[in-house]
Structure 1
Amino acid sequence: MVPLLNSIISRLRFKHMQLIIAIEDYGTLHKAAKAISISQPGATKLLNEIEESIGLKLFERTAKGIVPNEAGSCVTRYARLIFNDLSHMREEIVGIAEGAGGHIAVGCIMGAIPLLTRAIYDLRCDQPELTVEIFENNSANLLHKIDQGRIDFALCRVSSGQNILPYDNLGLSEEPLAIVANTAHPLLNCKNVSLAELADHPWVLYTSNTPMRQSIEYEMHKLGLEIIKHPVESSSAFSTIMLLQHDVNLLAVLPLDVAEFFVSKNLISLLDIKITSLMSKIGIVKRKDFNLTPTAHILIAKLYQNLGLAYDKSDWHRK
Structure 2
Amino acid sequence: MELPRLLDGRLKIRHLILVDALTKQGSVVGAAAALHVTQPVATRSLHEVEEILGVTLYERGPRGVTPTVFGEAFTEHARAVLAQLAQAGRHVDELAGASRGTTVVGTHLAGSNMLLPAAIAQLKAKRPLLTVVVREGTPESLLVELEAGRIDMIVGRLTAPSNESVTRTSLYKESICLVVRAEHPLAAANVRELSELVDYPWILPGVETVLRRELEQFFSRHSLPMPENRVECTSFLTVRHLLVETDAIAAMPSLISRDDLRLTALPFALEPVGHSVGLTVSKGRRLSPSAIALVDELRSVSTHMPGKRESASLSE
TM-score normalized with structure 2 length = 0.76
- Bigger strand fraction: 2
What aligned pairs does 1:99-248 form with structure 2 within 5 A after superposition?
Answer: 101-114=100-113, 115-159=115-159, 164-190=163-189, 192-196=190-194, 197-208=196-207, 210-213=209-212, 226-232=224-230, 233-247=232-246
**Is the CA contact 2:107–2:154 (under 8 Å) kept in the aligned structure 1?**
yes
Larger radius of gyration: 1
Q: Counterpart amino acid of 2:273?
A: L
More relative contact order, 1 or 2 (CA 8 Å, 6+ apart):
2
Could you tell me how far apart the structure 2 residues matched to 1:133 and 1:35 are? Answer: 23
SS at match of 2:186: helix
Percent of aligned positions with the same letter in both sequences? 25
CA distance in 2, matches of 1:65, 1:214: 29
Q: Note the C-alpha offset of 1:84.
A: 2.3
**Relative to structure 2, which stretch is displaced further, 13-22 or 86-95?**
13-22
Structure 1's 72 and 213: CA in aligned 2 closer, same or farther, altered over 3 A? closer
| Matched residue SS, 2:90 | helix
Q: CA deviation at 1:272?
A: 3.3
**Which residue of the partner structure matches residue 97 of structure 1?**
96
Q: How many residues of Structure 1 are paired with residues of Structure 2 in the alignment?
A: 301
Q: Is residue 295 of structure 1 aligned with residue 290 of structure 2?
A: yes
Asked if 1 retains the 8 angstrom alpha-carbon contact of 2:100 and 2:129, the reply is yes
- Report the counterpart of residue 86 of structure 2 in structure 1: 87
Per-residue Cα deviation, 1:83-131 (whole angstroms, up to 9, x for no partner): 2221211111211221862222222221110211221222223333333
Deviation at 1:256, TM superposition (A): 1.3
Residue equivalent to 2:250: 252
CA contact (8 A) 1:19 1:32 kept: no
2:293 maps to amino acid: I
Letter in 2 for 1:273: F
CA distance in 1, matches of 2:224, 2:31: 55
2: CA distance, partners of 1:216 / 1:33: 35
Would the aligned equivalents of 2:28 and 2:65 in 1 still touch at CA under 8 Å?
Answer: yes
What stretches of structure 2 of length at least 5 have no aligned partner? 305-311
Matched residue type, 2:116: L
Instruction: Note the aligned Cα RMSD (angstroms).
Output: 3.9
* Residue 9 in structure 1 maps to residue 7 in structure 2: yes
* Alignment match, 2:265: 270
Give the number of the structure whose residues are more often helix, by fraction. 1
Residue identity opposite 1:290 in structure 2: R
Provide the C-alpha distance between the structure 2 equivalents of 1:194 and 1:50, rounded to a whole number of angstroms: 61
Offset at 1:259?
Answer: 1.9
Q: Look up the equivalent residue of 1:89 and give its one-letter code.
A: A
d(CA) in 2 for partners of 1:129, 1:16: 34
Report the secondary structure of 1:230's partner residue.
Answer: coil
Mapped partners of 1:273, 1:150: distance in 2? 40
Cα distance, 1:203–1:51 mapped onto 2, change above 3 Å: closer
SS in 2 for 1:181: strand
Q: 8 Å contact 1:217–1:228 — kept in the other structure?
A: yes
- Distance of 2:201 and 2:43 partners within structure 1: 55
Taking the TM superposition and a 5 Å limit, the aligned residue runs for 1:46-65 are 47-59=46-58, 63=62
**Contact 1:211/1:279, CA 8 A, preserved across alignment:** no
Distance 2:208 2:52 in 1: 43
CA contact (8 A) 2:58 2:65 kept: yes
1:312 corresponds to = none
Which structure 1 residue ranges, 5 or more long, are not aligned? 310-314
Shift in alpha-carbon separation, 1:215–1:152, aligned structure 2, 3 A = same
Q: Deviations over 1:231-254 (max 9, x none)?
A: 41333322322222332x322221
Asked if 1 retains the 8 angstrom alpha-carbon contact of 2:110 and 2:157, the reply is no
The answer to whether the Cα contact below 8 Å between 2:15 and 2:46 also exists between their aligned partners in 1 is yes
